């Protein structure tokens, strides 16, 4: 019998343990028990004699104590009373006894065990042995506890970890505590409203601590534009990212680090060029004139005209697409908030149609100066690049395509029935001897690539002194790209000061200054250039050396318009840029509930691009050297005044009201110089006037001054901490519309119900910690079409009078006084939740977005001087949903224990037309539905490769063997309408919807692990159902590429169809008459879905014990990072995120670094 299995209650027992006895609820039973106890007391006096009369025989080895007790029970009739958990602490026994007494056997059982026993009425009660400890040696520890602003915290509980020893701080935040020498060497500090903090003692006798505010997920502050609120009271669709969650240390651009980090946010780096721009899209915006997301830095709308000037040389005809946020050091950013729906973005009105990105930079904290230094070094290699033919493969494949062309021209099987003996024999381009003996030439692509290198240094000083909060930082970035002649250097600094002049007045200033220099690699079609480094290397004949014996650059004799790829490295082309963003504010608390604030900002950017094409470069040689200097300058001035009223009425009503006025002026101008025919290359562009071009180029350009005048307001009403209503209104006036269309009004309204505050949830479903339902509607605008309401003239058209060419003026743009705002209308419904003690949290949003009066260009009559005019036409819709999910998978209660958390986000959207303009309907192909998908891909359905040897399909007469067949699915009647039936021929009627140029689903997930001093982060993201036209199609288009022009091609050309490879994967390289249909078919349409591992970071934080003896060092973290380690995709091109297959390739980087705090 094991009495521990009964209902039980604990009472003190012998040896400091406890006895478990049944619970008795009946008074009569209790009286009987009292009498029974007296009887047992009398009998118990005789127990030792009775126990000693029992004999026990046991012979066992390695027997658990519980089984041993069972054997004793059977031989003696005694029962054992114990807690099963106690026996788990006991060791197993070897016991050999014969006819031994119970007392002797029990003595053996409990010898050297952490247990004791006591016998009560033939019941052996087992308890835990009481440990008698010696008085420990104690160490005195003193210190001071303050908040983040440096003020002392009285009443803070200070406890020795793992003990009941504790004390509290006095009025000055000071404490003294005696710590046992053998106790856990850590103190735990706790205070209501502050984060509990554990600090290792590590032998120190003084331990000072700063406690941070305790911020739960719903108490987090979210920036909403012209203010901030607690996350709990947010009513719109807003996603937030703290830079502490990002690996900004290894990122050269903050937008680059945002890819896949929040639902509804797409950040794609379409070029690997150092300093290149990263496209950021918030949800989906089916518009032809989308301006991109609006960036607001510390409340300042940054100037979006700060672009890079173009160069007027032929191989520099467009500037590199630099990131608009290159001037901001990622390490200076505290948080980023994304306003996604119109109820949230309406406060920014006309420029918020594509969403708003609110960037908050770091500010000074604490009363003591804090110095932080971060340094890292990275090494890059090309993530993936095309595999082209080597020298021998090139010669063999050129012979083969030539032989194929000879067979086709002479109609030899499989292209006809001609006897080869009756025609002129085929003469190969290269003999077999030449193929066998020709020296292997270096790969031209390898010649223009290299290992990349990046180094970054960031330093910051922050704190507070004499009511002045300060943050000062500096940064340096040097990036060497994986293509030769591509480098990017950035240097900058930031100063942020906030001064409390009085209890009612505060002023501040924020200055961000940045400079950069970029060596521009002319990469070709990515920059809209006729040719470029990558293209030339890709096509360069594999039999030719990159330099001849004299050091000159050979040119392809079969195609003399393509420069030698190595000669691109002789080009001098770089850009110098500077950016200054200065803002200041004055804030006056008129009364406790009313605050007035004035902001002024000045945003200035300047950029100069210098380019020179020397005579060693093909087109430099043809023009005697080309030089150009181009510069651009932009200035934006913003003045804003706001009044913010916050008031609590009674216990359940609160209101926040905001009104404001904004006035912004933006100017942009530029200057370009061009000359050629230089006597020497040594002048470069420094003496551009020494060129002798017949018509040197001098041009200046200036965009019209843009003026924005706005009035805005917002009211947030909260009832009983569970019902929230937000209403906003903005009225914008823009100078690029005619007087009668200048103003636009953009309202937004949203509401939220915190369901978890209702009693039916709060009191009955404890698993739900937080549940909020949101709904909103709003409108925003778009005016991103330049000054298209007005007519403009240009002087770029010369007129010839006799033999003289004179500059002339002609109409460049036709006005449209009826042109007005493009308007976006959003409906959003969302749900925020936290369950299971906040172990699982997240949000779900559904949105329905409609864009009316699309801004577009409408074509005019062909004989009109201007080909098109700006107009409002059409209506589109975007529907979709966003999901965010955060889980704390493993949470350790011990300091340094194992923790694992996961964040997941998924987005889905679908864009479609609602109505199109009358002009668009007139030119809309019959196969395309007026209300079909936006950015749809229409094409033909492939039907395999025609093998020849039999009659060609009836609807494709004359198709070559090896050509791609397409299906005859539809036809036209005599009126040009679709019949819905095959008509026996291939035409545009056979085109169908093949896919959409854009992902249907995007996702990202991040796993964070920590154990002791180590932390590990693994971040991945990707797209699903994204379609691309394959890059491979270019290698199979015509015979001209390899056979006629002698261009090199992809090595997969070996898998093309030929007379001796009729089961090939790819079609013939000959010019098939149906090739245009095939190239526009699903044969070359690939699935661009992918899963990319974006970032793996491993960090180690050095323990306090190793740095405690250092007088200034307070923290040290070492880290290693890998970016772009791998990608999972079926896409056969270079990268599914690159928009052009000849773009600057993406790279994989390996980073090591350290972060030190003082």
Whether the ω angle into residue 1109 lies within 30 degrees of 0, i.e. cis, is no
Mode of pairing for the β-strands spanning 174-180 and 93-101: unpaired
Mean pLDDT of all residues in 202-222: 76
pLDDT of the residue at 327: 84
Task: Say which range, 228-237, 888-897, 1112-1121, has the weakest mean pLDDT.
Answer: 888-897
pLDDT of the residue at 394: 95
The span from the CA of 66 to the CA of 82, in Å, is 10
Res. 822 pLDDT band, cuts 50 70 90: confident
The span from the CA of 337 to the CA of 220, in Å, is 12
Q: HSE of 463 in the Cβ direction (CA atoms, 13 Å)?
A: 12
- Confidence check: pLDDT of 945 > 90: yes
Number of neighbouring beta carbons within 10 Å of residue 515: 16
Mean pLDDT of all residues in 446-475: 93
- Confidence check: pLDDT of 636 > 90: yes
The span from the CA of 1079 to the CA of 885, in Å, is 42
pLDDT of the residue at 18: 38
In sequence order, the β-bridge partners of residue 116 are: 127
The CA-based dihedral angle spanning residues 317, 321, 327, 329, taken in that order and rounded to the nearest 10 degrees: -140
- Confidence check: pLDDT of 44 > 50: no
pLDDT of the residue at 179: 86
The span from the CA of 295 to the CA of 935, in Å, is 26
The span from the CA of 439 to the CA of 458, in Å, is 50
pLDDT of the residue at 35: 43
- Confidence check: pLDDT of 1020 > 80: yes
CA triple 931-934-936, angle to 5 deg: 100
Label residue 47 exposed, middle or buried (CB < 10 Å: 0-12, 13-18, 19+). Answer: middle
* Distance from the Cα of residue 546 to its chain's centroid: 40
pLDDT of the residue at 694: 82
Longest dimension (CA), the chain: 142
Contact call for residues 845 and 792 (beta carbons, < 8 A):
no
pLDDT of the residue at 640: 96
The SS3 call for residue 186 is: strand
Tokens representing residue 183 in the block: 């106790």
Domains 3-128 and 138-210 share a fold: no
pLDDT of the residue at 528: 36
Res. 860 pLDDT band, cuts 50 70 90: low
- Confidence check: pLDDT of 135 > 70: no
pLDDT above 90 covers what percent of the chain?
A: 43
Which among 996, 992, 985, 940 has a CA at the least distance from the CA of 958?
A: 985
The span from the CA of 266 to the CA of 278, in Å, is 10
Mean pLDDT of all residues in 573-585: 94
pLDDT of the residue at 865: 61
Architecture of domain 3-128: 3-Layer(bab) Sandwich (3.55)
Distances (CA, A) of 986 to 754, 951, 954, 991: 60, 17, 10, 9
Number of neighbouring beta carbons within 10 Å of residue 611: 27
The SS3 call for residue 597 is: strand
- Confidence check: pLDDT of 397 > 60: yes
pLDDT of the residue at 54: 64
pLDDT above 70 covers what percent of the chain?
A: 85
Q: Identify how many contiguous H helices and E strands the chain contains and give both numbers.
A: 15, 55
The CA-based dihedral angle spanning residues 141, 146, 152, 155, taken in that order and rounded to the nearest 10 degrees: -70
Return the domain boundaries, the chain. 3-128, 138-210
**Better-scored residue on pLDDT, 313 or 945:** 945
**Better-scored residue on pLDDT, 115 or 850:** 850
Q: HSE of 816 in the Cβ direction (CA atoms, 13 Å)?
A: 21
- Confidence check: pLDDT of 883 > 50: yes
The span from the CA of 430 to the CA of 955, in Å, is 39
Say yes or no: domain 138-210 is CATH 3.10.180.10.
Answer: no
* Distance from the Cα of residue 147 to its chain's centroid: 33
Res. 115 pLDDT band, cuts 50 70 90: confident
- Check the CA dihedral 1079-1083-1085-1086 and report its sign: negative
- Confidence check: pLDDT of 887 > 90: yes
Sheet with 209-210, edge to edge strand ranges: 174-180, 138-146, 209-210
- Confidence check: pLDDT of 999 > 90: no
Contact call for residues 390 and 542 (beta carbons, < 8 A):
yes
pLDDT of the residue at 30: 45
The SS3 call for residue 3 is: helix
- Confidence check: pLDDT of 992 > 90: yes
Model pLDDT for residues 468-481, shown as the tens digit of each residue: 999 999 999 999 99
The radius of gyration of the chain from alpha carbons, rounded to an integer in Å, stands at: 39
pLDDT of the residue at 274: 84
Strands, E assignment, 203-355: 209-210, 221-223, 228-230, 238-242, 265-268, 279-282, 294-297, 300-301, 333-339
The SS3 call for residue 424 is: coil
**Better-scored residue on pLDDT, 800 or 767:** 767
* Distance from the Cα of residue 22 to its chain's centroid: 62
Mode of pairing for the β-strands spanning 209-210 and 138-146: parallel
**Better-scored residue on pLDDT, 1139 or 504:** 504
Tokens representing residue 635 in the block: 């200035």
Distances (CA, A) of 570 to 453, 901, 1147: 21, 51, 24
Res. 1145 pLDDT band, cuts 50 70 90: confident
Contact call for residues 716 and 751 (beta carbons, < 8 A):
no
* Distance from the Cα of residue 625 to its chain's centroid: 43
Q: What is the mean pLDDT of the chain?
A: 84
């Amino acid at each position: 019998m094991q009495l521990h299995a009964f209902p039980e209650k604990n009472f003190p027992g012998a040896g400091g343990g406890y006895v478990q006895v049944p619970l008795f609820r009946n008074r009569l039973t209790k009286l009987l028990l009292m009498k029974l106890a007296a009887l047992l007391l009398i009998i118990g006096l005789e127990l030792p004699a009775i126990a000693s009369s029992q004999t026990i025989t046991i012979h066992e080895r390695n027997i658990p104590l519980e089984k041993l007790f069972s054997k004793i029970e059977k031989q003696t009739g005694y029962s054992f009373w114990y807690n099963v958990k106690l026996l788990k602490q006991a060791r197993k026994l070897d016991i050999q006894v014969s006819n031994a007494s119970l007392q002797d056997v029990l003595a053996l059982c409990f010898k050297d065990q952490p247990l004791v026993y006591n016998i009560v009425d033939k019941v052996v009660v087992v308890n835990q042995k009481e440990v008698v400890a010696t008085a420990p040696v104690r160490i005195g520890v003193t210190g001071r506890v303050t908040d983040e602003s440096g003020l002392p915290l009285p009443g803070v509980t200070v406890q020795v970890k793992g003990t009941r020893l504790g004390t509290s701080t006095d009025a000055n935040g000071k404490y003294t505590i005696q710590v046992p020498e053998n106790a856990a060497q850590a103190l735990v500090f706790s205070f209501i409203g502050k984060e509990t903090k554990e600090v290792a003692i590590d032998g120190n006798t003084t331990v000072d601590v700063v406690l941070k505010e305790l911020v739960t997920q719903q108490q987090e502050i979210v920036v909403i534009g012209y203010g901030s609120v607690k996350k709990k009271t947010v009513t719109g669709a807003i996603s937030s990212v703290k830079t502490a969650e990002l690996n900004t240390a290894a990122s050269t651009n903050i937008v680059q680090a945002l890819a896949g980090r929040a639902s509804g946010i797409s950040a794609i780096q379409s070029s690997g060029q150092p300093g290149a721009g990263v496209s950021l899209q918030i949800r989906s915006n089916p518009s032809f004139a989308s301006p991109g997301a609006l960036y607001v830095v510390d409340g300042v709308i940054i100037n979006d005209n700060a672009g890079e000037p173009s160069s007027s040389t032929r191989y520099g005809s467009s500037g590199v697409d630099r990131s608009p946020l290159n001037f901001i050091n990622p390490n200076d950013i505290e948080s980023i908030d994304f306003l996604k729906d119109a109820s949230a973005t309406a406060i920014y009105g006309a420029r918020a149609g594509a969403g708003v990105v609110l960037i908050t930079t770091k500010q000074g904290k604490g009363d003591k100066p804090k110095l932080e230094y971060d340094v890292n070094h990275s090494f890059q290699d090309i993530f993936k690049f095309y595999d082209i033919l080597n020298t021998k493969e090139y010669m063999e494949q050129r012979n083969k395509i030539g032989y194929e062309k000879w067979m086709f021209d002479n109609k030899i099987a499989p292209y006809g029935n001609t006897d080869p003996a009756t025609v002129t024999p085929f003469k190969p381009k290269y003999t077999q001897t030449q193929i066998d003996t020709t020296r292997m030439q270096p790969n031209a692509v390898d010649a223009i690539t290299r290992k990349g290198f990046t180094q970054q240094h960031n330093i910051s000083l922050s704190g507070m002194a004499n009511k002045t909060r300060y943050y000062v930082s500096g940064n340096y970035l040097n990036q060497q790209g994986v293509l030769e002649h591509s480098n990017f250097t950035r240097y900058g600094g930031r100063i942020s000061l906030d001064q409390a002049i009085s209890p009612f007045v505060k002023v501040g200033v924020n200055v961000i200054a940045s400079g950069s220099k970029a060596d521009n690699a002319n990469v070709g079609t990515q920059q809209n250039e006729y040719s470029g480094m990558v293209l030339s290397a890709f096509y360069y004949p594999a039999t030719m050396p990159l330099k001849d014996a004299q050091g000159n650059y050979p040119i392809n004799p079969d195609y003399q318009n393509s420069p030698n790829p190595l000669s691109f490295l002789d080009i001098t082309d770089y850009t110098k840029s500077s950016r200054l963003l200065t803002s200041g504010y004055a804030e006056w608390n008129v009364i406790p509930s009313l605050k007035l604030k004035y902001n002024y900002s000045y945003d200035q950017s300047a950029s100069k691009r210098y380019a020179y094409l020397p005579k060693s470069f093909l087109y430099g040689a043809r023009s005697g050297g080309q030089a150009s200097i181009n510069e651009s300058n932009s200035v934006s001035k913003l003045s804003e005044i706001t009044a913010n009223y916050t008031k609590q009425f009674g216990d359940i009503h609160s209101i926040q009201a905001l009104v404001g006025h904004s006035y912004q002026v933006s100017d942009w101008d530029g200057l370009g110089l061009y000359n050629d025919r230089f006597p020497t290359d040594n002048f470069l562009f420094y003496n551009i006037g020494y060129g002798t071009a017949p018509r040197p180029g001098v041009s200046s350009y200036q965009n019209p001054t843009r003026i924005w005048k706005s009035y805005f307001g917002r009211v947030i009403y909260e009832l009983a901490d569970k019902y929230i209503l937000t209403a906003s209104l903005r009225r914008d006036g823009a100078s690029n519309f005619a007087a009668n269309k200048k103003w636009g009004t953009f309202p937004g309204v949203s509401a939220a119900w915190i369901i978890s505050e209702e009693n039916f949830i709060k009191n009955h479903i404890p698993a739900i910690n937080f549940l909020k339902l949101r709904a909103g509607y709003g409108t925003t605008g778009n005016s991103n079409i330049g000054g298209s309401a007005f007519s403009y003239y240009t002087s770029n058209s010369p007129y010839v009078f006799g033999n003289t060419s004179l500059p002339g003026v002609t109409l460049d743009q036709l006005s449209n006084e009826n042109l007005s705002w493009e308007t976006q209308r959003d409906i959003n419904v969302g749900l925020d939740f936290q369950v299971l003690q906040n172990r699982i949290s997240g949000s779900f949003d559904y949105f329905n977005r409609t864009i009316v009066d699309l801004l577009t260009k409408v074509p005019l009559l062909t004989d009109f001087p201007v080909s098109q005019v700006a107009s409002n036409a059409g209506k589109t819709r975007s529907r979709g949903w966003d999901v965010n999910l955060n889980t704390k998978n493993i949470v350790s209660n011990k300091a340094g224990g194992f923790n694992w958390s996961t964040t997941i986000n998924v987005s889905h959207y679908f864009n479609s037309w609602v109505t199109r303009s009358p002009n668009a309907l007139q030119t809309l192909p019959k196969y395309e539905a007026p209300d079909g998908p936006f950015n749809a891909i229409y094409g033909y359905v492939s039907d395999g490769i025609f093998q020849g040897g039999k009659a060609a399909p009836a609807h494709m007469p004359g198709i070559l063997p090896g050509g791609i067949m397409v299906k005859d699915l539809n036809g036209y009647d005599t009126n040009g309408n679709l019949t819905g039936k095959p008509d026996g021929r291939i035409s545009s009627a056979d085109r169908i919807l093949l896919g959409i140029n854009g992902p249907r689903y995007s996702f990202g997930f991040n796993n964070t692990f920590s154990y002791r001093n180590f932390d590990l982060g693994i971040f991945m993201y990707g797209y699903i159902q994204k379609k691309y036209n394959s890059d491979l199609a270019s290698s199979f288009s015509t015979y001209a590429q390899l056979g006629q022009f002698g261009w090199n091609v992809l090595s997969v050309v070996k898998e093309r169809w030929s007379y001796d490879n009729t089961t090939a994967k790819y079609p013939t390289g000959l010019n098939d008459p149906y090739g245009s249909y095939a190239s526009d078919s699903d044969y070359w349409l690939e699935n661009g879905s992918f899963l990319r591992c974006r970032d793996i970071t491993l960090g180690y934080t050095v323990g306090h014990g190793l740095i405690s003896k250092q007088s200034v060092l307070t923290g040290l973290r070492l880290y290693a990072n890998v970016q772009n380690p791998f990608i999972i995709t079926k896409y056969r091109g270079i990268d599914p995120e690159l928009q052009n297959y000849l773009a600057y390739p993406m790279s994989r980087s390996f980073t090591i670094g350290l972060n030190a705090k003082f």
